[in-house]
C-alpha cells in the first residue's frame, strides 16, 4: 500500500512543482520546493494518508526526501 501512496505523493508533488520527472530519493530542498509548496505538500499528505496526519507531526526539511515522507506517514 505504501508504494501506491508514494506514487500518489509523487504525482501531487509533480503537479505542485510543475515537473514531469521526480526521484523519490532526492531531498526536497534540491527539487526547488518553497514554503508555499511545503503547505501544499502537507495538504496532499493529509489527503493521501487518510486525513489522520496532524500538521505538527509532519517534519519536512530541505534534506527530507519524498520517500522519507512516505515512510513517516505510513508508520
In the chain, domain spans:
2-74
Architecture per CATH, domain 2-74, reads as Orthogonal Bundle (1.10)
CA-nearest of 75, 74, 72 to 61 is 72
Is 57 or 18 the better-scoring residue by pLDDT?
A: 18
Given this model, what pLDDT does residue 46 score?
86
Which ranges in 18-65 belong to alpha helices (H)? 35-48
- pLDDT (tens digit, 9 = 90+) per residue, 37-73? 998 998 898 889 886 656 677 778 889 999 999 998 8
* Structure confidence at residue 58 (pLDDT): 76
Closest CA to 46 of 11, 15, 3, 9: 9
Does 32 have pLDDT greater than 50?
Answer: yes
pTM of the model: 0.86
First-to-last alpha carbon distance for the chain, in angstroms, is 12
Amino acid at each position: 500500500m505504501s508504494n501506491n501512496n508514494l506514487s500518489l505523493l509523487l504525482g501531487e508533488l509533480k503537479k505542485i512543482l510543475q515537473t514531469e520527472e521526480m526521484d523519490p530519493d532526492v531531498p526536497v530542498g534540491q527539487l526547488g520546493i518553497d514554503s508555499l509548496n511545503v503547505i501544499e505538500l502537507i495538504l496532499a499528505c493529509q489527503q493521501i494518508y487518510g486525513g489522520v496526519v496532524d500538521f505538527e507531526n509532519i517534519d519536512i526539511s530541505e534534506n527530507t526526501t519524498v520517500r522519507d515522507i512516505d515512510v513517516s506517514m505510513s508508520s
